[in-house]
Chains A and B, each alone.
Chain A
Amino acid sequence: MARVSLENIRKVYPNGAEAVHPSSFDIEQGELIVLVGPSGCGKSTLLRMVAGLETITEGTLTIGDRVVNDVDPADRDIAMVFQNYALYPHMTVYKNMAYGLKNRGLPKTEIDAKVREAAEMLSLTEYIDRRPSQLSGGQRQRVAMGRAIVRSPELFLFDEPLSNLDAKLRNQMRIEIRALQRRIGVTAMYVTHDQIEAMTMADRIIVLNAGRIEQIGTPSDIYNQPASTFVASFMGAPPMNLLPASYNGNGVATIAGGSEVKVSTSGSYQGGVQLGVRPENVSLSPTDRANPLTFELDLIEELGASRLLHGRLAGHSFVVNAPNDADIPDGSIFLDIPQEAVHLFATDTGKRIN
């Protein structure tokens, strides 16, 4: 279990494409860090560079107190769980888990003890003599986990490990993996494109976009203080509403073609902005006020616990997440946007300004 540090890690492919722009971050001991972003954002490349499956073009990678840029994957003291599990199809569950240990020259009795312990932990004991083809998706996933656990590595790497499972199993495995990682206290790096996985599992999240780090922060940081319009719209379901607006630099933003909204800010920026509001932070206002935010309702989506109101605000598409018991009037709907729930992003850079 170790601290991992990436310093200006960069990846350029032979065809000149820069998959990962120089990126730096540290992973603390025992921390689970989630790399999240859309496909092609470089998150898997970054993970594979840490694993040693891709060469590092520039920068320094440290695991523990070793610089491992040129160290063979087998010698980096890492274990990896792949998206399609990557189990050895011709080996039993037992041998799948034992293979890495055997190659490291552990005595047979020790291997046996470790494999059986891991199998016990993952409720795989009765399947230990089966081959992967005789197991269900969730069980294969567990074997892949087991193969990583028995090695007791310095660092766990997960490459979208849950994306081949169905929704129910995914939720269950998410919790299992998180609990397991906590229990053994191993440092972990987890790649996913699923923002819910990122939010629920991470100690810290790294949001990547087009090979660059957009933001590093705790799930609550990322959710409450998104650093850019990209992070704001990528994290959260349904995504944050973004409306074109202008900001006067003095606590009031004006939505294009509509009304003014009060903003809490300390910045001095003035000019075009994207005004962001999360659907769940908006409330329906019963009364018409001096400065109304009139919402035109198009469609109601029933979610059970709440309802999503799809419509338009000042002509821009807008979504409101209304509680189940909220009264939805037939006529005009007025919205209440709390001052502290308003996010402002500069139009040209997309960076947060408040």
Chain B
Amino acid sequence: MKRAGFAQPWLPILLLIPQLTIIMIFFYWPAGYAIQSSFYLQDPFGFGSSFVGFENYSDIFSSGEYRKVAWFTVVYTFLVTFLSLSLALLLAVKADKVIRGARTYRTLLMWVYAVAPPVAGLMGVMLFDQSAGPLTEFLGFFGWDFKLGVNYNDTATAMVVVAVWKQVPVNFIFFLSGLQSIPRSVREAAMIDNRSGTRRFWDITFPLLAPTAFFLLIINITYALFDTFGVIDTLVKGEPGNNPMTLVYKVFIDGFRGNDLGGSSAQSVVLMVLVLALTVFQFRLLERRIHYT
């Protein structure tokens, strides 16, 4: 194969500059600044800072509250990822079988995608409102006295429900297109080989969806960890108190509410390392077991 090259060495660099600039300004610079400030203790009023070494980090790891938030984040991420993936898969499999009115059905399912996270959170607030929320009333029928923003578990439930609801459409679109790219004849061959539709799904359809599912798994974990910020913020109404929150939200609370920039920076550095490790782990472990066709 002939390799194309540039006559002048500065042209490719020039072409890369806009992208590199954006990455520098919005990623490397803040990341570097976060690492730097995680070793300092800032004056709350911004008059100065003093070097404290790893003190911020040792504070984090010895804090019971941090461990509690970290544990909640793990549970929350697992629930949101698992529920939104499985619900979307279920819906996609059903939508794939619909012949009449298929477009309407799909469009309706995709609509939610257009809702911004804070708006979704606000809708959650209204639905789960203590005095007039329809979902609160509905749960009341079953004897569940739902208290959003007051009861830890109730707030967590609402956070999971809204985050899942918001994420299902994205997953649905990907799963549906994944399903539709499986050749019809392969499914038909499976119909002749296996009578059970459920078994056919797990033996044939699902493995062929695996690349899509793997991609979505990463997207969803990232979503649950970071992009649910807006949902959480509206649901706890900026009054975290005893309410559940994720690590990302705690970074915001400690840094901008608690004015502990050093501690908050240390937290975000920990988070950065975690995400890095997670991504490497996912690609190493999972991608090897997935067969791209």
Partner-B contacts on A (CB < 8 A): 51-53, 72-75, 78-80, 82-84, 86-90, 99-100, 103, 131, 133, 147
Residues of B within 8 A of A80 (CB): 188-189, 192
Task: Determine chain B's interface SS by DSSP, over half rule.
Answer: helix
Check A88–B190 contact: CB distance below 8 A: yes
B205 CB → nearest A CB, Å? 10
Residues of B within 8 A of A133 (CB): 293
A137 CB → nearest B CB, Å? 15
Residues of A within 8 A of B192 (CB): 51-52, 73-74, 78-80, 100
Residues of B within 8 A of A72 (CB): 195
Asked whether any CB of chain A lies closer than 8 Å to the CB of B208, the reply is yes
How many chain B residues touch A (CB < 8 A): the figure is 20
| The one of A73, A87, A88, A147 that contacts B191, using a Cβ cutoff of 8 Å | A73
Q: Which of A87, A88, A99 has the most CB of B within 10 A?
A: A88
Given A88-B186, A89-B293, A133-B293, does the pair A74, B208 have CB atoms closer than 8 Å?
A: no
Check B190–A82 contact: CB distance below 8 A: no
| The one of A53, A84, A87, A131 that contacts B291, using a Cβ cutoff of 8 Å | A131
Across chains A and B, which 3 residue pairs bring their CB atoms closest together, nearest first?
A86-B185, A100-B193, A74-B195
Check A82–B291 contact: CB distance below 8 A: no
Q: Which of B189, B191, B192, B210 has the most CB of A within 10 A?
A: B192
Asked whether any CB of chain A lies closer than 8 Å to the CB of B203, the reply is yes
| The one of A53, A87, A89 that contacts B188, using a Cβ cutoff of 8 Å | A53
Chain B 154-197 interface 0/1 with A at a Cβ cutoff of 8 Å (1 = within): 00000000000000000000000000000101101111111110
Complex CA distance for A78 and B196, rounded to whole angstroms: 16
Complex CA distance for A89 and B190, rounded to whole angstroms: 12
Check A89–B193 contact: CB distance below 8 A: no
Q: Which of B191, B193, B207 has the most CB of A within 10 A?
A: B193
Complex CA distance for A82 and B188, rounded to whole angstroms: 9
A168 CB → nearest B CB, Å? 25
- Could you name 25 residue pairs across A and B whose Cβ atoms are closer than 8 Å? A51-B192, A52-B191, A74-B191, A74-B194, A78-B192, A80-B189, A80-B192, A82-B189, A86-B186, A86-B188, A87-B186, A87-B189, A88-B204, A89-B208, A89-B291, A89-B293, A90-B208, A99-B190, A99-B193, A103-B194, A103-B195, A103-B196, A131-B291, A133-B293, A147-B193
Residues of A within 8 A of B183 (CB): 84, 86
Residues of A within 8 A of B186 (CB): 86-89
Q: Which of B185, B210, B291 has the most CB of A within 10 A?
A: B185
Segment 53-90 of B: residues with Cβ below 8 Å from A: none
Check A74–B193 contact: CB distance below 8 A: yes
Residues of B within 8 A of A131 (CB): 291
Segment 96-131 of B: residues with Cβ below 8 Å from A: none
Check B193–A103 contact: CB distance below 8 A: yes
Complex CA distance for A100 and B195, rounded to whole angstroms: 10
Residues of B within 8 A of A88 (CB): 186, 189-190, 204
A5 CB → nearest B CB, Å? 20
Residues of A within 8 A of B199 (CB): 103
Residues of A within 8 A of B203 (CB): 99
Complex CA distance for A256 and B185, rounded to whole angstroms: 50
Complex CA distance for A228 and B21, rounded to whole angstroms: 75
Complex CA distance for A74 and B210, rounded to whole angstroms: 25
Residues of B within 8 A of A52 (CB): 191-192
Residues of B within 8 A of A79 (CB): 192
Chain B 201-243 interface 0/1 with A at a Cβ cutoff of 8 Å (1 = within): 0011001101000000000000000000000000000000000
Complex CA distance for A131 and B292, rounded to whole angstroms: 11
Given A82-B189, A83-B185, does the pair A90, B293 have CB atoms closer than 8 Å?
A: yes
Check A75–B185 contact: CB distance below 8 A: no
Complex CA distance for A255 and B188, rounded to whole angstroms: 52
B250 CB → nearest A CB, Å? 42
Nearest-neighbor residue (CB-CB) of B203 within chain A: A99
Complex CA distance for A72 and B207, rounded to whole angstroms: 24
Complex CA distance for A80 and B193, rounded to whole angstroms: 10
Nearest-neighbor residue (CB-CB) of A48 within chain B: B188
A316 CB → nearest B CB, Å? 44
Q: Which of B195, B208, B210 has the most CB of A within 10 A?
A: B195
Complex CA distance for A84 and B183, rounded to whole angstroms: 9
Residues of B within 8 A of A53 (CB): 188, 191
Residues of B within 8 A of A84 (CB): 183, 185
Complex CA distance for A53 and B185, rounded to whole angstroms: 10
Check B195–A75 contact: CB distance below 8 A: yes
Complex CA distance for A52 and B192, rounded to whole angstroms: 9
Residues of B within 8 A of A75 (CB): 195
Nearest-neighbor residue (CB-CB) of A82 within chain B: B185
Check A90–B207 contact: CB distance below 8 A: yes
Residues of A within 8 A of B191 (CB): 52-53, 73-74
Complex CA distance for A103 and B195, rounded to whole angstroms: 8
Complex CA distance for A62 and B218, rounded to whole angstroms: 51
A140 CB → nearest B CB, Å? 12
Nearest-neighbor residue (CB-CB) of B293 within chain A: A89
Residues of B within 8 A of A103 (CB): 193-196, 199
| The one of A51, A83, A99 that contacts B194, using a Cβ cutoff of 8 Å | A99
Residues of A within 8 A of B190 (CB): 88, 99
Nearest-neighbor residue (CB-CB) of B195 within chain A: A74
Known pairs A88-B204, A103-B199 / 4 extra A-B pairs, C-beta < 8 Å:
A74-B191, A89-B293, A90-B208, A99-B193
Complex CA distance for A131 and B195, rounded to whole angstroms: 24
Residues of A within 8 A of B193 (CB): 74, 99-100, 103, 147
Complex CA distance for A132 and B193, rounded to whole angstroms: 17
Complex CA distance for A101 and B190, rounded to whole angstroms: 12
Complex CA distance for A86 and B182, rounded to whole angstroms: 10
Residues of B within 8 A of A87 (CB): 186, 189
